[in-house]
């Protein structure tokens, strides 16, 4: 909402406050003022001049040489505008004048002839093209005859105004009108309010003889008032009205249209003027549209209507889309002499539907959508009649032809002053509260220790005690609220187990050299099904697509964090960042039913993607590229850190992964993720070199984690270590051998580590050697050689037997 300070001054005395101060006060009291700016930039010394004569410039065809009387002197001005003529009253920038944009006017010579100033167009005076009356768009502005020569044109054209731009929240539609803003400002400043008085000289003729009103859907149109105004002379509206429309961002058209727009701005009530003679009947019928019914609207578009659109008809065909836009056929024109003026209350949602479907958001529809003040509908119609009488020569017929089932509800709110003070934490006296209510111009009675407030209909947003708390608080001032802290029972806050686990995982992975990343949850259809962990895939998830995505790139819910994480690698590599280790902790969304009937299961996962060098210390020849075992080591460390014991890495194939370099993760027999190298063809798709990834299910970790931490005595007896190397087929996996060793090693076998793997020269083809270091320890006593030898023998025998292994040298 654009608010002209000059206009506002008609209702309230604002002489003792600057626009900036006012803006600040309005903002602090609840309505954000986006800006307070002069209607045009710095402008001075522009006056009304009378063009006494206008002749062709002796040396230029397209220029005119004008003698202009500006009151105290006569100036010779050269003007290029096509519409300049002798006898016009025009805006003259005298030498020494300044125009918006910083232009300074000086005496100058044009083609050998002196020019002592400039005759201005509205654009040159700083008015935007789109607000300039059509007849003046391509030339200079011409004043009506009744202005005085030498008068200050800046004042006459309202170019000394300041415009406040209000950012209205949806509840404050009352301020979509100048009167509403005046009420608000009067309450904030505690000032008197002077509102327009509506007085009409009605004719003897009855409007009812000219028109009937029939409403077929009262719930969508509870009030419709039709006024008839005869004797209309269409022409320009008065300058002050045009100025105010321009200040509010509306282009003046003619007096009839300008008056309906003016009342819309003043009362917040949209009106529509039909040309009575072109209306097509003597009957206004309001009904819902028929399927595929058509209407040609004012903007010359043919529009197809739907059954839930409300239309105004002449009994036969639609003449307007209710609250949205009028039809072209019954539009007011230069020839109009009788006007049928509509003042109505349309159902907000119906108007919203219509304006949305036709993509027509007008000043009218915006107001209907928010719900207009039911008490001001008819009054606004009368106000327009008054103005048509004053400024369009109109004669108003007696009576309003109306349909009226509009329920006018005045909200009543009762409260005690204690109640208000309790909620705010304040000690506002009853007297001060009363003053605030009075300033808001709400009706009230004293009731016990408090008030019974009757809320005016213009403030439909105030209906419960809490609303009154806000009204009182905002006028009282939030600055004056004390700072306190909750007095409620002591309450300790802490993280849940899962939240703590998440933080621990972050800490570990970051400490291990990985950078936390955040990617979008919404991805492409293709990526949503890529690199899905086997245990998720086993659930047969059905892709979830947005009903109306903004783009294909963000159209589907992800089932894995990896595809977008890989895109982040790709982004970095394209920017010459070669060694990368990223991870993300976030949700995937698993929908198991066709069509989304219930909410998808959201599963927290943690995924990482690594490429390039893991360690780069070239001058000491220590450089290590990321490989499977780097990633595995990170995960093993993680599981150790968070107490997840017994994790198994099983070779397996996962779609999108290198078939020979991939393992699924299992704990207690349950799969909970995977790791390995990306399939080279997928690497290619992302422009990546060898890239290793992992993806694990955080909820499964929580489920299987060892949550008890208990002290274990430090061993007091020495341990014995033994090395064993076996030659086995290269098909045999190390973990299988390990299992057998652990089984056969007896209770003193504490730890088994692989310390060497060999394959190649001096080794039979298809065979490999794996060397293990065994650590034996008896917590109760020193181990004897016999005990160790026995265990060692058992291990050798078992491994030989199970894997056709040979003990190596």
Whichever of 521 and 750 has its CB closer to another protein, that residue is 521
**Interaction of residue 382 with another protein, rule CB under 8 A:** no
Q: Does position 620 bind another protein by CB under 8 A? A: yes
Phi, psi dihedrals of residue 11, rounded to the nearest 5°? -100, -30
Q: Please identify, using beta-carbon distances, which residue of 600 and 656 lies nearer to another protein.
A: 600
d(CA 76, CA 284): 58
Cα 163 to Cα 165: distance, rounded to the nearest angstrom: 6
In the complex with another protein, which residue's Cβ is closer, 408 or 495?
A: 495
Interface residue with another protein, options 148, 277, 418, 602 (CB under 8 A): 602
Residue 762, phi then psi, degrees to nearest 5: 65, 15
Query: Residue 752 and residue 23: Cα distance in Å, rounded?
Result: 77
485 binds another protein (CB under 8 A): yes
Q: Where are the beta strands (DSSP E) in 480-529?
A: 515-516, 522-523
> By C-beta, is 286 or 522 nearer to another protein?
522
Stretch that binds another protein, among 156-164, 169-177, 178-186, 378-386 (CB under 8 A): 169-177
Residues numbered 553-582 forming contacts with another protein, rule: CB under 8 A: 554, 557, 565, 568, 571-572, 575, 577, 580-582
Judged by CB, which is closer to another protein: 620, or 710? Answer: 620
Is 427 a binding residue for another protein by CB under 8 A? The answer is no
Q: Hey, is 365 helix, strand or coil?
A: helix
For residue 547, state whether it binds another protein (rule: CB under 8 A). Answer: yes
Say if residues 695 and 603 touch (Cβ distance below 8 Å): no
512 lines the binding site for another protein (CB under 8 A): yes
Q: Is 470 annotated as a binding residue?
A: yes
Beta strands in 575-635 (DSSP E): 580-590, 601-611, 613-617, 622-625
Stretch that binds another protein, among 262-270, 488-496, 648-656, 716-724 (CB under 8 A): 488-496
> In the set 103, 412, 495, 754, which binds another protein (CB under 8 A)?
495
Among 155, 306, 474, 689, binds another protein (CB under 8 A): 474
> How many residues of this chain bind another protein (CB under 8 A)?
94
Q: Taking a C-beta distance cutoff of 8 angstroms, is the pair 753, 738 a contact?
A: no
Considering only residues 587, 648, 794, 798, which one is a binding residue for another protein as defined by CB under 8 A? 587
Q: Are 88 and 51 in contact (CB under 8 A)?
A: yes
Q: Judged by CB, which is closer to another protein: 82, or 448?
A: 448
Q: How far apart are CA 809 and CA 805, in angstroms?
A: 13
CA distance 395 to 386: 9
Residue 595 found at the interface with another protein (CB under 8 A) = yes
The H or E element containing residue 698 is helix 698-704
User: Distance of alpha carbon 233 from its chain centroid, rounded?
Assistant: 46
Residue 539: count other Cβ atoms within 10 Å of its Cβ: 14
669 binds another protein (CB under 8 A): no
Q: Does 615 bind another protein (CB under 8 A)?
A: yes
Among positions 623-652, residues that touch another protein (CB under 8 A) are none
Q: How far apart (Å, rounded) are the C-alpha atoms in residues 776 and 797?
A: 18
Considering only residues 137, 195, 438, 546, which one is a binding residue for another protein as defined by CB under 8 A?
546
Cβ atoms of 583 and 509 closer than 8 Å = yes
Choice between 385 and 472, CB closer to another protein: 472
Residue 797: phi and psi, rounded to 5, are -60, -45
Q: Does 511 help bind another protein (rule: CB under 8 A)? A: yes
- CA-nearest of 459, 272, 281 to 381 is 272
CB atoms within 10 A of CB 300: 7
Of 63-71, 229-237, 376-384, 613-621, the window that binds another protein (rule: CB under 8 A) is 613-621
Minimum distance of another protein from residue 100's CB (angstroms): 21
Which lies closer to another protein via its Cβ, residue 493 or residue 760?
493
> Which residues 6+ apart lie within 8 Å of 486 measured at CB?
none
Would you say 334 or 489 has its CB closer to another protein?
489
Tokens of 649: 């890495």
Euclidean distance between CA atoms 198 and 181, whole angstroms:
19
Tokens 């982040």 belong to 568
Q: Which stretch binds another protein (CB under 8 A): 222-230, 529-537, 541-549, 753-761?
A: 541-549
Element (H, E) at 210: none
β pairing state of 515-516 and 580-590: parallel
CB atoms within 10 A of CB 422: 11
Q: Which of residues 61, 62, 146, 492 is near another protein by CB under 8 A?
A: 492
> Under the criterion CB under 8 A, does residue 540 sit at the interface with another protein?
no
**For 246-309, where are the E strands, in sequence order?**
271-275, 283-288, 294-296, 302-304
Other C-beta atoms closer than 10 Å to the C-beta of 43 total: 24
The closest alpha carbon to 299, from 328, 273, 263, belongs to 328
Least distance (Å) between residue 568 CB and another protein: 4
- Binding window for another protein (CB under 8 A); candidates: 397-405, 596-604, 646-654, 736-744: 596-604
- Tallying the residues shown for the chain, one arrives at 809
Interface residue with another protein among 15, 72, 102, 170 (CB under 8 A) is 170
Instruction: Indicate whether 473 belongs to the interface with another protein (CB under 8 A).
Output: yes
In the stretch 16-35, what mask flags binding to another protein with x, by CB under 8 A?
-----------xxxx-x---
Query: Does 619 engage in binding with another protein (CB under 8 A)?
Result: yes
Nearer to another protein, 231 or 587 (CB): 587
DSSP 422: H
Q: Residue 292 annotated as binding?
A: no
Q: 703: how many CB neighbours lie within 10 A of its CB?
A: 13
Between 173 and 330, CB nearer to another protein: 173
* Phi, psi angle pair for 448, to nearest 5°: 55, -130
Options 58, 87, 96, 513; binder of another protein; rule CB under 8 A:
513
Span 325-354, contacts to another protein by CB under 8 A: 348-349, 352
Binding to another protein by residue 370, rule CB under 8 A?
A: yes
User: How far is residue 732's CA from residue 751's CA, in Å, rounded to a whole number?
Assistant: 21
Q: Does 171 interact with another protein (rule: CB under 8 A)?
A: yes
Tally of helices (H runs) and strands (E runs) in the chain: 21, 42
| By the rule CB under 8 A, 503 interacts with another protein | yes
Geometric angle at alpha carbon 234, from 230 and 236, rounded to 5°: 140
Is 425 or 715 the residue whose CB approaches another protein more closely?
Answer: 425
Q: Which stretch binds another protein (CB under 8 A): 277-285, 405-413, 548-556, 681-689?
A: 548-556
Among 198, 423, 428, 725, which residue interacts with another protein (rule: CB under 8 A)?
A: 423
Kindly identify the residues of this chain, within the stretch 735-764, that bind another protein according to CB under 8 A: none
Residue 521 found at the interface with another protein (CB under 8 A): yes
Interacting stretch for another protein, rule CB under 8 A, among 374-382, 495-503, 527-535, 730-738? 495-503
Query: Of the listed pieces 442-450, 617-625, 696-704, 767-775, which binds another protein according to CB under 8 A?
Result: 617-625
CA distance 268 to 557: 44
Segment near another protein (CB under 8 A); pick from 65-73, 280-288, 594-602, 642-650 = 594-602
What are the phi and psi torsion angles at 279 (to 5°)?
-70, -30
Of residues 369 and 535, the one with the C-beta less far from another protein? 369
Residues annotated within the binding site for Mg(2+) are 461, 467, 470-471
Residues annotated within the binding site are 461, 467, 470-471
């Amino acid at each position: 909402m654009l608010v002209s300070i000059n206009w506002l001054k008609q209702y309230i005395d604002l002489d003792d406050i600057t626009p900036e101060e006012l803006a600040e006060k309005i903002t602090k009291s609840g309505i954000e003022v986006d800006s307070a700016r002069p209607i045009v930039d710095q402008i001075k010394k522009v006056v009304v001049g009378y063009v006494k004569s206008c002749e062709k410039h002796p040396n230029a065809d397209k220029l005119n040489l004008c003698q202009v009387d500006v009151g105290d002197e006569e100036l010779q001005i050269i003007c290029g505008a096509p519409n300049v003529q002798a006898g016009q009253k025009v805006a003259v920038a005298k030498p020494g004048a300044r125009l918006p944009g910083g232009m300074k006017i000086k005496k100058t010579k044009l083609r050998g002839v002196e020019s002592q100033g400039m005759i201005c167009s509205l654009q040159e005076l700083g008015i935007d093209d789109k607000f300039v009356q059509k007849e003046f768009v391509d030339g200079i502005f011409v004043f009506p005859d009744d202005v005085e020569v030498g008068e200050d044109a800046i004042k006459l054209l309202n170019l000394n105004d300041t415009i406040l731009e209000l950012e209205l929240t949806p509840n404050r539609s009352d301020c979509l009108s100048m009167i509403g803003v005046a009420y608000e400002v009067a309450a904030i400043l505690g000032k008197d309010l002077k509102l327009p008085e509506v007085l009409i000289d009605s004719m003897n003729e009855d409007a009812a003889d000219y028109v009937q009103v029939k409403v077929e859907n009262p719930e969508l149109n509870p009030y419709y008032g039709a006024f008839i105004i005869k004797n209309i002379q269409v022409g320009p509206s008065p300058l002050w009205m045009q100025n105010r429309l321009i200040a509010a961002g509306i282009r003046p058209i003619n007096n009839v249209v300008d008056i309906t727009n003016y009342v819309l701005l003043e009362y917040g009530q949209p009106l529509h003027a039909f040309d009575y003679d072109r209306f097509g009947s003597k009957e206004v019928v309001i009904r819902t549209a028929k399927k595929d019914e058509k209407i040609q609207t004012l903007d010359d578009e043919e529009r197809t209507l739907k059954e839930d659109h409300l239309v105004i008809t002449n009994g036969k065909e639609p003449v307007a889309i209710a609250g949205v836009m009028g039809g072209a056929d019954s539009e007011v024109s230069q020839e109009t002499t009788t006007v049928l003026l509509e003042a109505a209350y349309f159902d907000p949602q119906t108007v919203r539907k219509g304006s949305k479907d036709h993509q027509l958001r007008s000043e009218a529809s915006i107001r209907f959508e928010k719900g207009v003040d039911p008490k001001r509908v008819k009054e606004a119609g009368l106000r327009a009649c008054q103005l048509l009488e004053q400024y369009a020569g109109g004669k108003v017929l007696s009576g309003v032809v109306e349909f009226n089932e509009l329920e006018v509800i005045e909200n009543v709110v009762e409260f005690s002053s204690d109640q208000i003070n309790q909620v705010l934490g304040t000690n506002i006296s009853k007297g001060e509260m009363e003053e605030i209510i009075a300033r808001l111009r709400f009706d009230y009675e004293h009731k016990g220790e408090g008030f019974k407030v009757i809320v005016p209909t213009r403030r439909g947003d105030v209906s419960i005690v809490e609303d009154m708390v806000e009204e009182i608080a905002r006028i009282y001032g939030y600055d004056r609220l004390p700072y306190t802290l909750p007095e409620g029972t002591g309450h300790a806050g802490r993280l849940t187990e899962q939240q703590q686990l998440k933080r621990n995982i972050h800490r570990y992975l970051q400490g291990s050299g990985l950078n936390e990343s955040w990617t979008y949850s919404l991805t492409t259809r293709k990526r949503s099904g890529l690199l899905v962990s086997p245990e998720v895939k086993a659930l047969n998830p059905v892709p979830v697509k947005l009903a109306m995505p903004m783009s294909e790139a963000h159209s589907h819910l992800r089932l894995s964090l990896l595809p977008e994480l890989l895109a982040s690698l790709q982004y970095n590599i394209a920017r010459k960042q070669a060694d990368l280790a990223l991870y993300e902790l976030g949700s995937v969304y698993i929908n198991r039913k066709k069509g989304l009937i219930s909410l998808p299961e959201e599963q927290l996962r943690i995924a990482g993607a690594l490429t390039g060098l893991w360690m780069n210390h070239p001058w000491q020849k220590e450089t290590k590229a990321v490989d499977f075992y780097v990633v595995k080591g990170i995960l093993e460390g993680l599981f150790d850190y968070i107490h997840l014991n017994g994790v198994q890495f099983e070779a397996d194939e996962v779609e999108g992964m290198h078939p020979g370099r991939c393992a699924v993760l299992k704990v207690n027999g349950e799969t909970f993720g995977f790791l390995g190298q990306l399939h080279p063809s997928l690497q290619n798709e992302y422009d990546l070199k060898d890239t290793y990834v992992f993806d694990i299910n955080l909820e499964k970790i929580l489920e299987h984690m060892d949550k008890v931490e208990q002290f274990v005595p430090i061993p007091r007896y020495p341990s014995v270590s033994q090395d064993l190397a076996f030659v086995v087929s290269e098909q045999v996996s190390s973990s299988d051998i390990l299992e057998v060793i652990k089984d056969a090693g007896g209770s003193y076998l504490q730890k088994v580590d692989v310390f060497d793997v060999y394959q190649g020269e001096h080794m039979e083809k298809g065979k490999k050697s794996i060397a293990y270091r065994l650590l034996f320890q008896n917590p109760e006593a020193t181990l004897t050689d016999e005990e160790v030898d026995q265990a060692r023998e058992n291990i050798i025998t078992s491994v030989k037997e199970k894997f056709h292994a040979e003990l190596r040298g």
